Amino acid sequence: MKKIGSKIMIGLYIIFIGMIFSGCWDNKDIVNRSFASCVALDRAENGEIEVTLQLLKPNVIKAKQQGGSDESAIWVLTTTGDTVFEALRNQLRTLNRKPFYSHLRLIIIGEELAREGLRDVLDLFIRHNEVRITPKILVAKNMRAKDIMDAQSEIENIPALHLEGILENNIAEAKTRDIRLIDVLQELTAPHGSTVIGNIVPKKKGNITKIKDLEIEGAAVIHGDKVMEFLDANQTRGYLFLKNEVKGGGIIVNNPGDENKKISINIKNAQGKIKVNKDNNILELSAHIKMKGDLWEEQGSVNLATQKMLERIEEEVEKEIIKNIQDTLKVAQEQCKCDFIGFGNAIAAKYPQYWESIKENWNEEFIDIPVHIEADVEIINTGIITKPIDVK
């Protein structure tokens, strides 16, 4: 019985050891890694690819959380190479720990490099199984991406988290676009081969030392993997309406009771849809927007809660939405001369055979096709007062 018991114990021990080693054979000790929170990509002065990493210091972060350190929680390191891979490997000449990319939050690409093309510089991040496909992508307009990495946050220990929070706020306000690494890949390989990526821009000239010196607003139009043009905040909102990506935000229009004053409308929800129709080989393009909103603010002294005034407010907001979309279409058809909006995708889905016959010259055809725009706005709430206070 003792021999049987001993054999059972040995067998269980072997199974236990096997389970431990089979589960952990390829794990890396966390203390032997540096965690990258943000990556900046630029074209270096010597023509090589320049990669800047914002690396976390876990021990310092822990000490800061306990209120015991004034040391920076990040370390910024820049290296160059003929490829992104080589530039990253060159980081090991200075780092004593191999960078770990599974916690990567942001990839920022400098304008100069983005105008050359995104495919080659993003290939490693798509191909490498250590990098998640969810980092947010931004284009640094009028600046090098590297300059953003040294900007300090006065709110967060990790500047990348501060930037990501600003990005989320402006996405909610429909002033920039929420796009991840995987989204860029999917859109660039879609029939129209274009995408739109949010911008990060400097608020002032000179050195950027603080996050508050930066602004995340507007977007970069990418076609054929290169930056073609930039959209301002209103044009970006027009694009987001067309893509059904407006999640909220505010629209400022003239007060219909006093055109020298303004009113603020909060977007409660919005639906946008682009449509294509073919009649006798004549292609028709249209955009249809529905929006519900609240009156959040009035400048002036007019009672805007009447049915007549609400209808006039709705008309003003509809005009503003249509103008935003028209301005976006103008960039597409007159400046970029390409369909970065995605009408081509809609044609390919609805009329696949017809799309095959026109896809080679679609951008040339697109620039001459008028787009019919409809907007339907409903103001559903004017707040807890019907008219502004009557100052005596």
For 153-164, what is the mean pLDDT? Answer: 87
Strands 98-100 and 106-110: unpaired
Q: What gap in Å lies between CA 343 and CA 358, rounded to an integer?
A: 13
Identify the pLDDT of residue 69: 61
Q: Which residues contact 242 (CB under 8 A, 6 or more apart)?
A: 272, 274, 287, 325, 328, 341, 342
Let me know how long the chain is.
Answer: 392
Superfamily of domain 244-392: Nutrient germinant receptor protein C, domain 3 (3.30.300.210)
Identify the pLDDT of residue 18: 44
Secondary structure of residue 328 in the 3-state scheme: helix
Identify the pLDDT of residue 112: 97
Distances (CA, A) of 57 to 32, 50, 73, 212, 229: 12, 22, 5, 23, 38
DSSP structural state of residue 334: I
DSSP structural state of residue 26: T
Closest among 315, 317, 311, 306 to 265, alpha carbons compared: 317
Residue 30: pLDDT band (50, 70, 90) is low
**Cα three-residue angle 105-106-109, rounded to 5 degrees:** 165
Q: What gap in Å lies between CA 280 and CA 88, rounded to an integer?
A: 56
The alpha carbon torsion through 140, 144, 149, 154 (nearest 10 deg) reads -70
Give the start-to-end residue ranges of the domains of the chain. 29-231, 244-392
Query: Does the pLDDT at position 23 exceed 60?
Result: no
Strands 282-298 and 214-223: unpaired
Residue 19: pLDDT band (50, 70, 90) is very low
Closest among 340, 329, 317, 330 to 270, alpha carbons compared: 317
Query: Does the pLDDT at position 211 exceed 80?
Result: yes
47-75 per-position pLDDT tens digit: 999 999 998 876 656 665 656 666 677 78
CB 318 within 8 A of CB 375: yes
Other C-beta atoms within 10 Å of 352: how many?
10
Residue 16: pLDDT band (50, 70, 90) is very low
Identify the pLDDT of residue 62: 61
Provide the token pair at 204.
Answer: 């002032």
